[in-house]
Chain A
Amino acid sequence: MSARTLEPLADVEAATVEVYDVHKWYGAHRVLNGIDLTVRPGEVTVILGPSGSGKSTLLRVVNHLEKPEIGHVSINGELIGVKRQGDRLKELSERAILTQRGRIGFVFQNFNLFPHLTVLDNVAAAPVATGRLSKPEAQELARELLGRVGLGDRTGAYPRQLSGGQQQRVAIARALALRPGVILFDEPTSALDPELVGEVLAVIKDLATSGTTLVIVTHEIGFAREIADRVVFIDGGRIVEQGPPSEVLDRPRHERTRDFLSKVL
């Protein structure tokens, strides 16, 4: 076998994400007040909530960009950022945390592409740096993934030469290069001009149907209705209600959910 064949994305095993009783505070300011959430493999979960409700923080706790004060997260049963020591949880070393993050995709609101690297190198960087693929293999993977998000012809461009929508699609390809079992999206379309939102949502929708576990924080209610298996509404650092979009979005049981939806719809 001379050429390595790239497995289709659907073959990446979708992960289970479990969040147990997560509390997070900054000084006296409580951001998360006991969140419990289970995301099943291949499930598309959309998190909604007013600004400051803690939804982005929750997403950042999942890949341990933020450390919860109480509670923990596990992916496929493996604790994230901590390990069991007797009956206590102990923070993992930075190196071990970085290794765990290498299996979790994260897409930022502001793309955060590396401006000094070409689009191809942005996507190929992580598999090479973590030693999972050789440079030619990583570049082959990057070309394939960029083709998948419709940017196969822009591999040599620098991020700032692209539109916002194109940059966010590169960022999604960069997350996919980790072959992650779960991808977390933190308001992926909030920094985009309205006419560019569609192209990014189309890529996410493509992923949703491919069976990868997705957790998406967004304000696009229509999009949530279309692709979500489950909608989680958060307010004041607590889950107010959750369920299929037909329930939470169309027949919300709680006053606060109704109030929020009436403002954004």
Chain B
Amino acid sequence: MSEPPGATVALAEAPTADASSKQFAAQRVLPPRRPGRWIATAVVLVLAAQFLHGLTTNPFYQWDRFGYWFLRPNILDGLLITLEVAAYSAVLGLIGGIVLALARLSKSPVLRAVSWTYIWALRSIPLIVVLLFLYNFSALYKTLSVGVPFGPAFLSFDESKLATDMVVAVIGLSLNEAAYAAEVVRGGILSVDQGQHEAAAALGLPKSYQFTRIVFPQALRSITPNYVNQLIGLIKSTSLVFYVSLLDLFGTAQSMGSTYPGDIVPLLLVATVWYLILTSVVSVIQFYVERHYARGATRSLPPTPLQKLRTGLTDLRARVRREAAV
């Protein structure tokens, strides 16, 4: 079929450029054949089949026990705790992150130093240490009070009543999350073109309007993928709250596993599949959030998966028809 030298000769022998262009006129250019892709597809399919075969036939996985545990009420309770802790920490962490990022970018050297120190400290200390420290906090400080240092206190709280396991978990994760979110947000703000800041300043837009309507919406385009990355990490970090005696998804699976030692593998699979589902949901939301903030950044919005599928099918049909014609 393919004989490059022959083709070259044929071109060289063509009497005039005109004749050869006429010969090819009104013909669609054929895409090149890619045999490598077909081989790769075959290899991947074989490997995937082997994996699935192992997953379904290996008795070690005990899929019947997986089915038994997957929707058990205590597993679902654990899932709810995971969702609650993750949701609260994600929101509080993001708010804290925005505040810290603004402080780090502010003109005030005091705010910059405070923010830098906070980020430095919280990124240095392992999350599990933060959680355990907070868990034992009530032993260190019996009451929390608002007042003058070394002077009288105006308001005081009994620490042990305030700090439930849930509160400890959310505070610990939020403190940690805020430090990372701060850098994600700061990166996003820095990615906005300097000209945008100048134009907003030149129009005399109030400072708060400049941030909320001009700079931040544009920063969100690059903040979103990074923050979702952060969020997925957070969802999995919630498994650490087990150590502050909160029974989340992983904690429930773990404690059930010690009660039913024969079911450890299916229980871990239950937790894995739920984490997979959570991450998938977050990824789908990410796609639509990114698409929303792409308004105006690209000439036309990226297609949704449904639109992609539709055009993909149309293309495939056209291609099959073409190949059949040849």
The minimal Cβ–Cβ distance linking B234 to chain A, given in whole angstroms, is: 27
Give the chain B neighbours of A161 by CB distance below 8 A: 299
Of A106, A115, A129, which contacts B213 at CB under 8 A? A129
Asked if B295 and A101 sit within 8 Å, CB to CB, the answer is no
Query: Contact mask A29-46 → B, CB, 8 Å, 1/0?
Result: 000000000000000000
Give the chain A neighbours of B214 by CB distance below 8 A: 114
Of A95, A112, A115, A125, which contacts B207 at CB under 8 A? A95
Give the chain A neighbours of B207 by CB distance below 8 A: 94-95, 98
Asked if A101 and B201 sit within 8 Å, CB to CB, the answer is yes
Asked if B204 and A99 sit within 8 Å, CB to CB, the answer is yes
Q: Which residue of A lies closest to B215 (CB)?
A: A114
Do A112 and B204 form a contact, CB below 8 Å, given A158-B295, A159-B296, A160-B299?
A: no
The minimal Cβ–Cβ distance linking B90 to chain A, given in whole angstroms, is: 24
Asked if A178 and B198 sit within 8 Å, CB to CB, the answer is no
Asked if B203 and A101 sit within 8 Å, CB to CB, the answer is yes
Asked if B198 and A102 sit within 8 Å, CB to CB, the answer is no
Asked if A112 and B198 sit within 8 Å, CB to CB, the answer is yes
Asked if A113 and B199 sit within 8 Å, CB to CB, the answer is yes
Asked if B299 and A112 sit within 8 Å, CB to CB, the answer is no
Q: Which residue of A lies closest to B295 (CB)?
A: A116
Q: How large is the interface on A (under 10, 10 to 19, 20 to 34, 35 or more residues)?
A: 20 to 34
Give the chain A neighbours of B121 by CB distance below 8 A: none
A223 contacts chain B at the CB level, 8 A cutoff: no
Do A116 and B201 form a contact, CB below 8 Å, given A95-B207, A129-B209?
A: no
Give the chain A neighbours of B296 by CB distance below 8 A: 115-118, 158-160
Asked if A98 and B206 sit within 8 Å, CB to CB, the answer is yes
Asked if A160 and B298 sit within 8 Å, CB to CB, the answer is yes
**Which A residues between 96 and 143 are near B, CB-CB below 8 angstroms?**
98-104, 106, 108, 110, 112-118, 125-126, 129-130
A65 to B217, CA, bound (A): 23
The minimal Cβ–Cβ distance linking A260 to chain B, given in whole angstroms, is: 28
The minimal Cβ–Cβ distance linking B297 to chain A, given in whole angstroms, is: 6
- Which A residues form the contact surface with B (CB < 8 A)? 63, 65, 94-95, 98-104, 106, 108, 110, 112-118, 125-126, 129-130, 158-161, 174, 178
Nearest first, the 4 A-B pairs at minimum CB distance are A102-B204, A112-B199, A101-B204, A158-B296
**Known contacts A98-B205, A115-B296, A160-B296, then 12 further A-B pairs from the complex at CB < 8 Å, ordered by chain A residue:** A98-B201, A101-B203, A101-B204, A104-B204, A108-B199, A116-B293, A116-B297, A126-B204, A129-B209, A129-B213, A159-B296, A160-B298
